[in-house]
Amino acid sequence: MLPNPKGQLTKQLLDFFTQPLDHEENEAKIVQPFQRCGDLVHFQHDSLSVCDVSIMGHRINWEHFCLKNQLKMRWEKKGNNEAQAKVLFHEELVQKLLEESNETWLFPLESALPMPKERYALRFQRIPIIRYVLGAIMEQGADYGKHKDATVARPLSITLEAADCNDQELRYFRQYRLYHILLRLIAYSDWNVVPAAKKADNKIMNMRIQLQRPKKQKDNTVTIVCGPVLEPGKKTATNLKSGSYMALRSNDMILMAMHRNGVRDIGNNKRDAMLMESLGSAAVVVDLFEVRHASAATVVRNSSGCSKGAAFILYNSARLETLLRSFNAQVKAGVYQPLPPLNEIDFSLLEDDLDWQLIYGYLLAFPHVAESTLVQLQRGLCGVHTLVHFIADMARQFSRYYRNKQVLLQGRDQLTPVLHARVYLIKAVREVLNASLAIMGIKPVTYM
């Protein structure tokens, strides 16, 4: 199975409309599957009722893309006048697109229809994607989306200048966390970390994680800048140590839980204390990395920040665990039938828009999101903040799903196929959420 199926879809779309220049067919610039194509190809995440992906319908935009990437248009202009010649799509080409996608693409298209602003709306056949995504996640588990082929990996050496201790300054703590997040993200890319002893090799990119950009930089060396951590309002460097800040954010979580539950003894037992510590640690990570790594992060005081975001993410993590724990208990009690093999599931029961939003918008997209964080690594940029936003958005989408769909249905025979299909979806969502949290160094929780 492919590590990044969404990237493969992008490549297949580009390959349908473009091709290498004839005289440079063997040397044409390779377009990376995860490359941003401007407005040419746009995958939807929220408005899936409109389409799954939209593409630019104006030919001149595609011609500019070809010029930039040493490509040419695959299809000749068609039309008797200038206006018709500018249009990328015509009825015959739409039919060819649908036919080719059904014959050779990873996931076939269902329709291609015009939409406003000179774009075309493409919809995929849902069942092939549902089957592929759930199958890949169930088979690969925590390795879903990771690159396995080390023979094509690009060598990379990483150097960190930060101490590993709990009471260090927050700027060094942020730098240390960024280092480990990068190490975990590299597993989802075509980079491969090599021992520091080999960094003199000119073929190896040497990456340094520093608090400031150096005035001079050696060849084949890239600097990842980790921004400062500031006090709110004053915008001066904070004096808080990492341990003190975690304690502060854990206390914020206790106050929030007391307010939500209307009780006064939250955190007074070992179990609750461990939970609040986990929530506080998660809040610190979100505080430090919800902004770009080179930008300044701001500490949160007086519960004025995004505690709710971190708590909400882990609250939905606990919901997933509770659903699966309850299902297993009902199976053990004889109320539910055991979960059958995945190939016996009726995937048409997961074609509803709410199911599709989770599967297409997040489960399919996760490997692409993880891989794309390192697209600009050679420029000293890493999109860790995009992964934080992805996690928060996925938690919100699952919460919406949970409110509108009952997963644990009554144990009637006619409802069993629906129950089993939804349980598999919940298992897949848990796997991807846990993998995303693991990259950020956040531990999931089993209860709230």
Same structural domain for residues 352 and 414? yes
Tokens matching residue 196? 């520091």
Same structural domain for residues 426 and 356? yes
Q: Is residue 50 part of a domain?
A: yes
Q: Is residue 196 part of a domain?
A: yes
Residue 28 has what pLDDT?
A: 43
Residue 163 has what pLDDT?
A: 52
Residue 278 has what pLDDT?
A: 87
Residue 70 parent element (H or E): none
193 DSSP β-pair partners: 156
Rounded to 5°, angle at Cα 29 from 27 and 31: 140
d(CA 17, CA 431): 35
Nearest to residue 400, comparing CAs of 5, 6, 42, 48?
48
How do beta strands 41-43 and 53-56 pair? antiparallel
Nearest to residue 369, comparing CAs of 396, 392, 398?
392
d(CA 336, CA 319): 19
pLDDT one digit per residue (tens) for the chain, 448 residues = 778 899 889 989 999 999 988 755 444 444 454 455 668 899 988 778 889 999 998 899 999 999 988 899 999 887 666 666 678 888 899 999 999 999 999 999 999 999 988 899 999 999 999 999 999 999 999 999 998 776 667 888 888 765 555 558 899 999 999 999 999 999 999 888 887 656 556 678 888 888 888 777 777 789 999 999 999 988 899 999 998 999 999 888 777 766 665 545 555 678 877 888 888 899 999 999 999 999 999 998 865 544 468 889 999 999 999 999 999 999 999 999 999 999 999 999 999 999 999 999 999 999 999 999 999 998 999 999 999 999 999 999 999 999 999 999 998 999 999 999 999 999 999 999 999 999 999 999 888 7
Q: Is residue 106 part of a domain?
A: yes
Q: Is residue 363 part of a domain?
A: yes
Burial of residue 245, with CB atoms counted within 10 A of its CB: 0-12 exposed, 13-18 middle, 19 or more buried: buried
Inter-helix orientation angle 384-404/270-289, to 10°: 130
Same structural domain for residues 64 and 159? no
Q: Is residue 166 part of a domain?
A: yes
Q: What is the CATH number of the domain that holds 331?
A: 1.10.730.10
Q: Is residue 120 part of a domain?
A: yes
Q: How many domains does the chain have?
A: 3
123 phi and psi angles, rounded to 5 deg: -120, 135
Residue 170 has what pLDDT?
A: 93
Tokens matching residue 91? 């009825």
Same structural domain for residues 313 and 436? yes
Same structural domain for residues 308 and 436? yes
d(CA 97, CA 110): 10
Q: Is residue 261 part of a domain?
A: no
Residue 19 has what pLDDT?
A: 92
Same structural domain for residues 408 and 306? yes
Same structural domain for residues 118 and 193? no
| Spatial contact of 55 and 118, defined as CB atoms under 8 Å apart | no
213-216-220-222 Cα dihedral, nearest 10 degrees: 0
Same structural domain for residues 375 and 414? yes
User: DSSP letters along 305-372, please?
Assistant: SSHHHHHHHHHHHHHHHHHHHHHHHHHHTTSSPPPPPGGGS-GGGG-SHHHHHHIIIIITTHHHHHHH
Nearest to residue 217, comparing CAs of 205, 229, 234?
205
d(CA 307, CA 251): 10
| Spatial contact of 135 and 425, defined as CB atoms under 8 Å apart | no
Domain with 185, as residue range(s), is 150-230
Same structural domain for residues 62 and 154? no
Coil/strand/helix, residue 27: coil
d(CA 332, CA 423): 15
Residue 260 has what pLDDT?
A: 62
Nearest to residue 335, comparing CAs of 413, 407, 402?
413
Residue 33 has what pLDDT?
A: 46
Q: Is residue 275 part of a domain?
A: no
Same structural domain for residues 224 and 323? no
Same structural domain for residues 109 and 172? no
Tokens matching residue 376? 């600009």
User: DSSP letters along 171-194, please?
Assistant: HHHHHHHHHHHHHHHHTTSSEEE-
Residue 309 has what pLDDT?
A: 81
Same structural domain for residues 348 and 434? yes
Nearest to residue 225, comparing CAs of 211, 207, 205?
211
d(CA 378, CA 302): 39
d(CA 274, CA 251): 12
